[in-house]
Amino acid sequence: MSKRSTSALTMRDALYEAPGPKMRAKIRVGTAISLVAVAALIALVLQRFYVTGQLSVHYWYFFTHLTTWKFLLAGFEGTVKVALTAGAIALVLGLALMLGRTSDIKPLQLVCRVLTDFFRGVPSLLFIYFFFLVLPQYKISLPSFWMLTLPVALAAAGVLAEIFRAGVNAVPRGQVEAAQALGLSKAKITFKIVLPQAIRFIIPSLISQLVVVVKDTTVAYVVSYPDLMQNARVLITNYDALVSVYLVIAVIYILINVAINKAAVYVSHKTGATIIR
């Protein structure tokens, strides 16, 4: 097998043929025009920032203080804790939903299918409002950490259940039939033959799903949990510097998500899995 076939596929490889010389020339021209347009847009934005005084030292000086970065780091730690905990819960719950949906028990299949579709279809913010506003009416009070983590986990679990199911469906049917011919039980076939291969196929997708989980944590302000975005809102209130703070926070989130995507591609190379990007 060629090195090209074992590497991560690009979207062009998956959907289109390689462009010819004329098309490559048109692509280069289009790329150059796009870069000029983007550069002009950035220059226009910076010019407006300058005119309105947003580039003034008044809105940026506090980023030179160590206490500012310590405060943001504390929020970053909160974001990481929520994202990792929600991701772990979503993995377990998503796997359980997939196993139930692919089982031979019809009522269990129906329940898991309904739950999967429900978790996928309801925005995580609505789940947060449920935990924050509805449960307290029934004398159920949770710490802000769990009022954020559980809703994010539920929303991600529905997506992960479908990712797991896609991985299971990717395992060649012949292997299952061979195992059945050997007299292996369905449980042994699932956990010893199907799941190990399925997980290998979907590891990059599982890691990439962390991007969604991290972005879902940005609504922590609803429950006043001190994550990165909530701490940024505190800085905005204290220094009246909305644009500068949001720009810095946006760069931090972009770097986090780029690192996660790079990790997904790295793992895909190491495991031989195919990832379309």
Burial 95-105 (b: 16+ CB within 10 A, else e): bebbbbbbeee
Query: What is the spatial distance between Cα 106 and Cα 100, in angstroms, rounded to a whole number?
Result: 9
Query: What is the spatial distance between Cα 109 and Cα 184, in angstroms, rounded to a whole number?
Result: 22
Query: What is the spatial distance between Cα 204 and Cα 262, in angstroms, rounded to a whole number?
Result: 10
Total Cβ atoms within 10 A of residue 72: 20
pLDDT of residue 277: 47
Query: What is the spatial distance between Cα 207 and Cα 264, in angstroms, rounded to a whole number?
Result: 6
Kindly give the confidence (pLDDT) of every residue in the chain, 277 residues in length, as a single tens digit, with 9 standing for 90 and above. 444 444 445 544 555 567 778 888 888 999 999 999 999 999 998 888 888 888 888 889 999 999 999 999 999 999 999 999 999 999 999 999 999 998 888 999 999 999 999 999 999 999 999 999 999 999 888 999 999 999 999 999 999 999 999 888 888 888 878 888 888 887 888 888 888 888 888 887 888 788 889 989 998 888 989 999 999 999 999 998 888 999 999 999 999 988 888 887 777 777 665 554 4
Query: What is the spatial distance between Cα 11 and Cα 126, in angstroms, rounded to a whole number?
Result: 33
The CA-to-CA distance between both ends of the chain, in Å, stands at 21
pLDDT of residue 55: 83
| Helix spans in 130-275 (H) | 144-170, 173-181, 186-188, 195-216, 228-239, 242-271
What does the angle CA 195 – CA 198 – CA 203 come to, to the nearest 5 degrees?
115
Q: Using DSSP, how many helices (H) and how many strands (E) does the chain show? A: 12, 0
User: In which residue are the tokens 């926070």 written?
Assistant: 249
Query: What is the spatial distance between Cα 132 and Cα 143, in angstroms, rounded to a whole number?
Result: 10
pLDDT of residue 274: 54
pLDDT of residue 198: 85
Query: What is the spatial distance between Cα 94 and Cα 198, in angstroms, rounded to a whole number?
Result: 14
Contact 61, 72 (CB under 8 A): no
What does the angle CA 137 – CA 142 – CA 144 come to, to the nearest 5 degrees?
115
Predicted structure pTM score: 0.79
Q: Phi-psi category of 272—alpha, beta or left, where left has phi over 0 and alpha has psi -120 to 50?
A: left
pLDDT of residue 3: 45
